[in-house]
Homo-oligomer: A and B are copies of this chain.
Amino acid sequence: MEKFQPPTLEDVARKAAVSTATVSRCLSRPGTVRQATRERVMQVVSELGYTPNFGAQAMAARRTNTIGAVIPTMDNAIFAKGLQAFQEEISSRGASLLVASSSYKKDLEEKQIRALIARGVDALLLIGDDRDEEIYEYLAKRHIPYVLAWNHRKAASHTYVGFDNFQAAYAMAERVLQHGHRRIAMIAGITEGNDRAFDRRAGVRKALSDHGIADADFSVVECVYSIDAAGDAFETILGTGRRPTAVICGNDVLAAGAILRAKAMGISVPGGISVTGFDDIELSTVVDPGVTTVHVPHRRMGKTAATVLFSALKNRQPKSRKLETHIIERQSLAPPAS
């Protein structure tokens, strides 16, 4: 097979018998070209399958009208709703979104960020803030505005559009205590490289310590965000030491896994053990009993992140936005059996 040469602006101009400048104007400012000429040119553009060269166009316009996002995983619903809202806001402004996934791997995330920038994205959505300082320096050098979502800190060095994971987890732990639980376990996400998981674990630990729960009455198991892994973590917790009366989970996937395994082991929820989640994704309403969880305003976060990025692209100083979370009580949390 011959090497394929993509059609060039020159090819279009030659075939349409016009200058390259006219072809350019047909594509970028069609109103400035006579209708007959424009139609002939667009016909040739279509026949040849010509696509304006990205590089040349970007040089001319300094904007590709494309936003990039790197998310840790596509394999569960944690980021789905927020990302969909982000995409809708971007589309409504006539821009495109390109998404890459890092599989929760730092080196892969860095590679994806560089790949997106090499492909000319104007701005980036990233999740959380736990990454090497070099990446932020690289983004600054390239003048790529970025927003960090799914977390929020008062730190002035980044633009966040998210919520305070520590605070939200602290509030959930207090709620569990209010129900009378004193022996509590946590199934946390892998905290290494994941500031959201780290902050949630820290928030729970701080709340328990502030309320005088001894370290011996609090155990933590970390696991990946999967139903099966959470089930195994739940069994591990029940197999070691005194059984807790409540298990606080780092997110709803973990809570669903804990509840399903409890049922499989013949332990009723919340009668035998209470379970709580985090995120308020659909899963938390589908599992039986419904999961008492932290509601995260996913759609608002996605839309706001897009708004902030677009304002940064207009050279306005982007401002962090803190979104509030609240606890949704369903059936999985109740006072311990006495």
A97 touches which of B48, B101, B137, B285 (Cβ 8 Å): B101
What is the CB-to-nearest-CB distance from A108 to chain B, in angstroms, rounded to a whole number? 7
Q: How far is the CA of A226 from the CA of B224 in the complex (A)?
A: 26
A142 touches which of B6, B88, B256 (Cβ 8 Å): B6
Once the chains bind, are A74 and B98 in contact (CB under 8 Å)? no
Which of chain B's residues have a CB closer than 8 A to the CB of A120?
A: 54, 119
What is the CB-to-nearest-CB distance from A85 to chain B, in angstroms, rounded to a whole number? 9
Once the chains bind, are A75 and B81 in contact (CB under 8 Å)? yes
Q: How far is the CA of A62 from the CA of B5 in the complex (A)?
A: 9
**Given A51-B114, A120-B54, A100-B100 contact (CB < 8 Å):** no
Q: Judge whether A13 is part of the interface by a CB distance below 8 angstroms.
A: no
Q: How far is the CA of A53 from the CA of B118 in the complex (A)?
A: 6
Q: Judge whether A265 is part of the interface by a CB distance below 8 angstroms.
A: no
CB contact list, A1-34 vs B, under 8 A: 1, 3-4, 6-7
A76 touches which of B4, B80, B116, B137 (Cβ 8 Å): B80
Please list the residues of chain A having a beta carbon within 8 angstroms of any beta carbon in chain B. Answer: 1, 3-4, 6-7, 48-49, 51-57, 62, 64, 66, 73-77, 79-81, 83-84, 87-88, 91, 96-101, 103, 108, 111-112, 114-120, 137-138, 140-143, 227, 256, 260, 282-283, 285-288, 315
**Given A74-B74, A83-B74, A288-B288, A98-B96 contact (CB < 8 Å):** no
Once the chains bind, are B88 and A103 in contact (CB under 8 Å)? yes
Which of chain B's residues have a CB closer than 8 A to the CB of A111?
A: 96
Copies in the complex: 2
Once the chains bind, are B84 and A74 in contact (CB under 8 Å)? yes
Once the chains bind, are A98 and B99 in contact (CB under 8 Å)? yes
Which of chain B's residues have a CB closer than 8 A to the CB of A282?
A: 76, 227
Which of chain B's residues have a CB closer than 8 A to the CB of A48?
A: 141
Which of chain B's residues have a CB closer than 8 A to the CB of A66?
A: 115, 119
| CB nearest to A51 among chain B residues | B118
A116 touches which of B62, B84, B98 (Cβ 8 Å): B98
Which of chain B's residues have a CB closer than 8 A to the CB of A101?
A: 84, 87, 97, 99
What is the CB-to-nearest-CB distance from A161 to chain B, in angstroms, rounded to a whole number? 18
Which of chain B's residues have a CB closer than 8 A to the CB of A315?
A: 1
Which of chain B's residues have a CB closer than 8 A to the CB of A99?
A: 74, 98-101
What is the CB-to-nearest-CB distance from A331 to chain B, in angstroms, rounded to a whole number? 12
